[in-house]
Amino acid sequence: FTGATTLAVVDGSGSLVRRIDIDFTAGSLTVDGGAATAFGGGTLGDVVSAINTALGANGSAGFTNGKLTVSATGGDGVSMLQDATTPSSRGGRGFAHFFGLNDIVDSARPQFFDTGLVATDAHGFTAGQTLSFKISAPDGRTAQTVNVTVGGTSFNDLLTSLNDPVTGLGRYATFSIDGSGRLVETPVSGYAGHDVELTGDSTARGATGLSFSQMFGVGLAAKAGRAELANVRPSVRSDSSLLALAKLDISSTSSAGDLVLTNGDGRGGTALQQALTSTRNFRSAGGFATGNSTLEAFAARLAGDIGARSARAERSAQSAQSLKQVAAEKRANVEGVSLDEELANMTLYQQSYNASARLLQAAKELTDTLLSLV
């Protein structure tokens, strides 16, 4: 993380209990405007430990299985506020946003693939786990299947395995991690028409249970799977009064006992509504190209696109059904049985049989006559 954020413990009346100003760039935090204290290290665990110490008896912080939790004691609550000048950021998201501390909609799976990771970070996978790929040529045939075995300790090591031209995918594409922590696939010259498809993933990062493909959105299943488990928090769904509508009113001079949250403050609710109308960037997906739009407009376009696709599918189904019916009628005309026609044919066959029998009888009688003359 870079930048700064403020964590506040607030009591039931909206009064400040403790203020913790966290400066990720400086690697330190202050408690209630006191002297800065270093995190003691550069890992997330060091940051969580420092926050836990700063909270003291007023709360606790923990990081387990990839999930950050911050809670207060004694019926108090926790509120976060980004620094107005240098807001905290990792992968383009603030501290609370990145860990979903203020999410109304949450999920057990990552909702974004801007991981904030760098290539030198530990990948956390177990050696021997595998990633399986199928490379399809432009004509659709399978050009090659590749199994990449996890080795080393860092994402650099994993990228090296992926980019190996002999045992990896380096003949067709190269992979890298960009500044936001997103995995980037770049086709090798001459192989832009080839499709690299993930067919199997046995990886699991530590105790999180997240696979490589789920973390970085490799494959359509991982991208589409983001929406499977998303839901409004059960606590908010069952009690809408828990929806935070106020905004933390705090500054560098705020101290314990100051009123920092007030009844009737609807700025948080206004900001939530503005999330629908503010312009943001949407990456290409389905039939949509990359572009800027409001969430409201994008949702309308998406609904319209789904409706149009549904209408086209319905028309195609109706056309196919009509074609099927016509084909069935033509087949019935060829294969169908006419009782009158079949009866006439049977009569004709019977008469032919009788005539043949009489002819055979005449031939027999003629033969007998000839034999009697000898």
197, 248: one domain: no
Note the pLDDT tens digit of each residue in 280-310. 888 877 778 888 989 888 889 888 988 998 9
Rg of the Cα trace of the chain? 37
181, 196: one domain: yes
Number of domains in the chain: 3
Domain boundaries, position 362: 346-374
- Do β-strands 142-149 and 279-282 pair in parallel, antiparallel, or remain unpaired? unpaired
If you average pLDDT over residues 205-234, what whole number do you get?
84
CB 33 within 8 A of CB 18: no
The dihedral of CA 233, 237, 241, 246: what is its sign? positive
pTM metric for this prediction: 0.72
155, 219: one domain: yes
Domain boundary, last residue among 256, 277, 298: 277
**Distance (Å) of CA 125 to CA 122, 129, 152:** 8, 7, 9
Residue 232, pLDDT > 80, answer: yes
If you average pLDDT over residues 338-366, what whole number do you get?
82
161, 22: one domain: no
214, 242: one domain: no
Distance CA 40, CA 42 (A): 7
Residue 294 lies in a domain: no
What does the DSSP assignment read for 215-246?
Answer: HHT-SHHHHHGGGTS-EE-HHHHH-GGGS--S
Residue 313 lies in a domain: no
235, 219: one domain: no
Residue 116 lies in a domain: no
Note the pLDDT tens digit of each residue in 269-280. 888 888 888 898
What pLDDT is stored for residue 176 in this prediction? Answer: 95
Residue 314 lies in a domain: no
pLDDT band at 337 (very low <50, low <70, confident <90, very high): low
Note the pLDDT tens digit of each residue in 2-25. 999 999 999 989 999 999 999 999
Note the pLDDT tens digit of each residue in 127-185. 999 999 999 999 889 999 999 999 999 999 999 999 999 999 999 999 999 988 999 99
Residue 316 lies in a domain: no
What pLDDT is stored for residue 227 in this prediction? Answer: 76
Residue 332 lies in a domain: no
142, 212: one domain: yes
235, 222: one domain: no
238, 198: one domain: no
Domain boundary, last residue among 277, 295, 314: 277
Residue 70 lies in a domain: yes
Q: Mean pLDDT across the chain, nearest whole number?
A: 88
207, 137: one domain: yes
CB 22 within 8 A of CB 29: yes
Residue 336 lies in a domain: no
**Distance (Å) of CA 319 to CA 19, 23, 305, 316, 325:** 67, 64, 21, 5, 10
203, 248: one domain: no
CB 31 within 8 A of CB 54: yes
66, 145: one domain: no
* Residues contacting residue 251 through CB under 8 Å, at least 6 positions apart: none
If you average pLDDT over residues 71-88, what whole number do you get?
92
